[in-house]
Amino acid sequence: MINFNIYTENEYQNWEIDNEKIAKTAEEICNFYLKTPEIANHCCLKSYEFDTISFDFLFCDSKKTHEINKEYREKDYPADIITFAVFADSPKDERFVLDMEINLGEIIIGLDKIIEEAQKKEISKEMELVFLISHGIMHLLGFDHQSEDEFNFVVKHQKLALESMGIKYDKI
C-alpha cells in the first residue's frame, strides 16, 4: 500500500478549499492511475522502490499563475494549471528516493480560472477542479500532451479516473 503526503496551500480568498477532501481526492486519483497498467508501466515511478508519494497543491488566482508562467516558463499569460513535475522531469540519474518517499512536485491551480471555466461549461466549480487535479497528477507522473495522441491518452485516463469515483465528466 502506498502512503501519501499531500500538502495544500490556498492563497485565493474567494473559495475556501477543503484540504482534507482535496488530499483524499488526489489519493484516489493517484491510486487509480497506479493500478492502470498503461499508466503504471510507463510513468516516472516505474522501477523505483518507494512506499510514500508526496506532492503539493498551491491554489491561487490567475494573476499569480501569470507571474509564475512568465518567470519560470517564459509564457506571458495566466493559466488554470501549472505543474512542476520535479521527479518526472529530472534526468533518471538525478532522481532520488529519500527514506522510501518520492516527491513528485507541485500543482498550481488558478481558482478564478476554474470558476470561469466551470461557468462556461455549465458545471460545478468542484467538478472542474477535480478534473484539473486529475490532469496535474498525470503530469506529475510524467505524461504530457504535446501531440493529439498524447492529449487523447491523458484526457481518456482523466475521465476514467473520475468515473472510478462516480463522476461523469464530458465537458472537454
Mean pLDDT (the chain, rounded): 96
Report pLDDT for 172.
62
Q: How far is CA 129 from CA 10, 92, 164, in A?
A: 13, 31, 16
> What is the model's pLDDT at position 169?
80
The model's confidence at residue 150, banded by pLDDT at 50, 70 and 90, is very high
User: Which residues partner with 81 through β-bridges?
Assistant: 109
- What is the DSSP secondary-structure string of 117-158? HHHHHTS-HHHHHHHHHHHHHHHHTT---SSHHHHHHHHHHH
Domains in the chain with CATH codes: 3-164 (3.40.390.30)
Is pLDDT of 17 > 90? yes
The SS3 of residue 96 is coil
pLDDT at 22 over 90: yes
Model pLDDT, residue 170: 77
Provide mean pLDDT across the span 148-154: 95
CB of 59 closer than 8 Å to CB of 8:
yes
Give the CA distances from residue 15 to residues 60, 96, 138, 153, in Å, rounded to whole numbers and listed in that order: 10, 35, 24, 31
Average pLDDT over residues 113-125: 96
